[in-house]
Amino acid sequence: NAGVTQTPKFQVLKTGQSMTLQCAQDMNHEYMSWYRQDPGMGLRLIHYSVGAGITDQGEVPNGYNVSRSTTEDFPLRLLSAAPSQTSVYFCASSPRVIATPLSKNIQYFGAGTRLSVL
Amino acid sequence: DQQVKQNSPSLSVQEGRISILNCDYTNSMFDYFLWYKKYPAEGPTFLISISSIKDKNEDGRFTVFLNKSAKHLSLHIVPSQPGDSAVYFCAASPRGTKAAGNKLTFGGGTRVLVKP
């Protein structure tokens, strides 16, 4: 009953360090997305993927890289962390085939990774 | 410029009374709207949604109203319960392919406190 699993839950980085935020889902969902949440800004889309091998940019992609080699995993890479990337990061997934019209575009979120860049 | 706005950052309501959360949008391409609920240290969870072809959708204590001409939607919670205390996000999805529809645009959130 795992759903969307994000690791780590917390991370502190120094400016310039690199790291990868992990995201895995066990629901066989084709679509996966990364969002960041900042106070008063809601959640903003960073990158998304419609299937293995296919990724695209969202609203705030600068400073982040993604790849999707399997259906289950969608890691987010910070190549050179900056203080502006201090945020809470959420991974989400959704199925390509919807069960009912009312379940259209519903995304299932992980518990988040809280990242601080000093 | 935020395309989805929730102008009330917080709301306090007495248990048993109605909670009304508001959301405005500017992009005419949005055709599907969702409300998510978020507890501290957890991810957002889906609450209720509405398509632009409808003006109302109801699910138990939760009702969402959509006014397309005003580009405004609201979420009503009746009656409010202490367990409803959380942050609520409004989100919008553009028309187009299923893949495009997955690009959700979120409002800034409204923190609801239900007092016993």
Reported as a single tens digit per residue, the pLDDT across B71-110 is: 999 999 999 999 999 999 999 988 776 666 678 999 999 9
pLDDT at site B95:
79
DSSP letter (8 states) at residue B20: E
Chain A hits for B108, Cβ within 8 Å: 40-42
pLDDT at B2: 81
Beta bridge partners of A79: none
Residues A13-63: tens digit of each pLDDT:
999 999 999 999 999 999 999 999 998 788 999 999 988 999 999 999 999
pLDDT in the model for residue B68: 95
What's the gap in Å between the CA of A15 and the closest CA on chain B? 25
Determine the Cα–Cα distance for residues A6 and A88; give it in Å rounded to an integer: 12
Confidence of residue A106 (pLDDT cuts 50, 70, 90): confident
* pLDDT tens digit sequence for B7-61: 999 999 999 999 999 999 999 989 899 999 999 999 999 999 999 999 999 999 9
Q: How far apart are CA B5 and CA B27, in angstroms?
A: 11
Residues of chain A in contact with residue B105, where contact means CB-CB under 8 angstroms, are 45, 59
Q: Which residue of B has its CA nearest to A89?
A: B43
Q: Which pLDDT score, from 0 to 100, does residue B97 have? A: 67
**The predicted structure's pLDDT at residue B100:** 66
Which chain A residues touch B106 with a CB distance below 8 Å? 35, 42-44
- Give A36-74 as a DSSP string: EEETTTEEEEEEEEEETTEEEE-SS-TTEEE--SSSSB-
What's the CA gap between A17 and A82, in Å, rounded?
Answer: 8
Residues of B in contact with A42 (CB under 8 A): 2, 4, 6, 89, 106-109
- Option in B32, B102, B109 nearest A33 (CB): B102
Asked if A93 and A27 count as a contact pair (C-beta separation under 8 A), the reply is yes
DSSP one-letter code for A101: G
Instruction: Give the whole-number percent of chain B exceeding pLDDT 70.
Output: 95
